[in-house]
């Protein structure tokens, strides 16, 4: 399956934990970005024309795509349509919204242009934690935005909510309360992610100074407790951090995890086509210069994916999903994971083999990286 990703790098302010390619910028920069984005879309789709007629999903993320006004949103939709992308023929068109910019007119305008899945960045419903991690909204704004999106589900859209756990000062009950509240709403999809502290972020620097602390002891009870709540609420865990009601999985994300091709636009956006993974410059100014120069391939960051890299990714991506790792498919690639390695994790009740597929179970989802590293040590041919 072919997919497109659009990156809008602007936020009202940068969250304290964020190390993505984002910036807080004046609105005059938005117009320049949109002109550059249109140019990049035109050049890259000319370079990879197979995406024009065969794209099945689009994900518009950030940053904060919803920071753009209706007229600015429309320039993105028009840029895609002018290159031949049929927005209403897509299986899925997802767009990220933040609560503080989840305005009715912007949501309805996105729907009018084919967006049929909305992902709302909530992170937590605890007021003190929102302040502590530097979010731009308060709890009431988050609840209002959620209600607004849910009220439009009758018009055919799907609604997803994002939460975070293992935040500084967050108790296990804080997080489980957030999960219970969100699960009780009429959402189709919930993602929750453990905080990954990047050293150069505001939060990372606070932790380095000792003014903030992350309690890793609560990671496991938070994750397992959240899984239990969502399972009881009829959500299926189809990836380590993603849970969906029946038939409401993110098709776009599944394309990533199943090794499909995708083309990215915007600062730092990643692409994977054929046996090549590449991305544009991550910072806004170098990306601007790159687009003005005609998006030269010589200035892309490129990784060529050989057999070893492909098999490594296959193991890593497969195990993190409910599909599991297909052992027979691996054997066809002349790769076999030794039985004693599998049994080591089965004996700990972290892994199960069903119909020649290996699946994580129980605490195995938490120790996923260790299990995968154990698999990879001796089993990828050079």
Give the Cα separation of 187 and 242 in Å (integer). Answer: 13
pLDDT of residue 382: 47
Could you give the CA distance from residue 337 to residue 295 in angstroms, rounded to a whole number?
42
Who wins on pLDDT, 154 or 14? Answer: 154
Measured CA to CA, the distance from residue 374 to residue 342 in angstroms comes to 9
| Mean predicted confidence (pLDDT) in 344-348 | 97
Q: What is the 3-state secondary structure (H, E, C) of 96-161?
A: EECHHHCCHHHHHHHHHCCCCEEEEEEECCCHHHHHHCCCCCCHHHHHHHHHHHHHCHHHCCEEEE
User: What whole-number distance in Å separates Cα of residue 43 and Cα of residue 37?
Assistant: 10
Among 174-178, 192-196, 255-259, 306-310, the range scoring the smallest mean pLDDT is 306-310
d(CA 109, CA 350): 46
Nearest to 51 by CA among 62, 38, 61, 42: 42
CA distance 224 to 236: 14
Distance (Å, whole) CA 260 – CA 245: 23
The per-residue pLDDT of the chain, averaged, comes to: 95
In terms of Cα–Cα distance, which of 302, 312, 242 is closest to 271?
Answer: 302
- The structure tokens listed for 163 are 């939460």
**What DSSP line would sit under 9-75, residue for residue?**
-B-SS--TT--SS-B---THHHHHHHHHHHHHHHHHHHHSTHHHHHEEEEEEEES-GGGS-HHHHHH
Helix (H/G/I), strand (E/B), else coil: 89: helix
* Per-residue model confidence as pLDDT tens digits over 24-77: 878 889 999 999 999 999 999 999 999 999 999 999 999 999 999 999 999 999
Residue with tokens 């296990």: 172
Residue 378's pLDDT is 63
Contacts of 207 (CB under 8 A, 6+ apart): 168, 197, 213, 214
Give per-residue burial for 228-237: e unless 16+ CB within 10 Å, then b. ebbeeeebeb
What is residue 203's predicted lDDT score, i.e. its pLDDT?
87
The helix (run of H) or strand (run of E) holding residue 93 is strand 92-97
pLDDT tens digits for 362-377?
A: 999 999 999 999 998 8
For residue 181, the number of C-alpha atoms closer than 13 Å in the C-beta half-sphere is 19
What is the predicted pLDDT for the residue at 160?
98
Domain(s) labelled CATH 3.20.20.70 in the chain stretch across 2-257
Which element (helix H / strand E) includes 97? strand 92-97
Q: 177 versus 378: which is more confidently predicted?
A: 177
Calpha distance 277→261 (Å, rounded): 9
- Rounded CA separation 360/126 (Å): 31
Distance CA 363, CA 373 (A): 16
Q: Choose the CATH number for 2-257 among 3.40.1390.10, 3.40.50.1370, 3.40.50.300, 3.20.20.70.
A: 3.20.20.70
Both tokens assigned to 131: 């302040």
Q: How many degrees, rounded to 5, is the angle at CA 299 between CA 36 and CA 45?
A: 50
């Amino acid at each position: 399956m072919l997919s497109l990703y659009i990156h809008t790098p602007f936020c009202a302010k940068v969250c304290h934990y964020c190390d993505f390619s984002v910036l807080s910028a004046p609105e005059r920069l938005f117009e320049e970005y949109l002109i550059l984005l249109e140019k990049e879309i035109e050049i890259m789709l000319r370079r990879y024309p197979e995406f024009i007629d065969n794209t099945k999903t689009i994900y518009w993320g950030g940053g904060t795509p919803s920071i753009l006004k209706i007229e600015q949103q429309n320039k993105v939709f028009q840029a895609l349509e002018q290159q031949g992308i049929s927005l209403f023929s897509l299986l899925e068109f997802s767009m990220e919204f933040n609560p503080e910019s989840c305005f009715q007119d912007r949501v309805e305008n996105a729907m009018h242009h084919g967006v049929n899945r909305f992902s709302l960045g909530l992170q937590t419903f605890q007021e003190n934690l929102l302040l502590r991690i530097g979010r731009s909204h308060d709890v009431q704004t988050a609840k209002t935005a959620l209600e607004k999106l849910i009220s439009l589900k009758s018009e055919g859209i799907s609604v997803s909510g994002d939460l975070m756990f293992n935040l500084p000062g967050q108790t296990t009950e804080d997080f489980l309360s957030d999960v219970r509240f969100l699960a009780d709403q009429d959402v189709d999809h919930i993602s929750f992610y453990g905080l990954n502290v990047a050293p150069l972020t505001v939060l990372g620097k606070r932790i380095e100074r000792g003014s903030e602390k992350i309690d890793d002891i609560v990671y496991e009870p938070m994750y397992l407790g959240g899984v239990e709540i969502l399972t009881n609420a009829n959500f299926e865990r189809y990836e380590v951090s993603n849970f969906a009601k029946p038939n409401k999985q993110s098709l776009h994300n599944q394309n990533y995890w199943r090794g499909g091709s995708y083309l990215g636009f915007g600062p730092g956006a990643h692409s994977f086509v054929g046996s090549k993974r590449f991305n544009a410059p991550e910072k806004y100014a170098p990306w601007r210069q790159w687009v003005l120069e005609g998006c030269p391939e010589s200035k892309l960051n490129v990784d060529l994916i050989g057999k070893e890299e492909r098999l490594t990714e296959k193991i890593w991506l497969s195990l993190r999903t409910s599909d599991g790792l297909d052992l027979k498919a691996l054997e066809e690639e002349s790769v076999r994971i030794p039985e004693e390695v599998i049994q080591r994790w089965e004996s700990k009740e972290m892994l199960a083999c069903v119909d020649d597929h290996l699946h994580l179970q129980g605490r195995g989802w938490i120790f996923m990286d260790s299990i995968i590293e154990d698999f990879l040590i001796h089993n990828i041919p050079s």
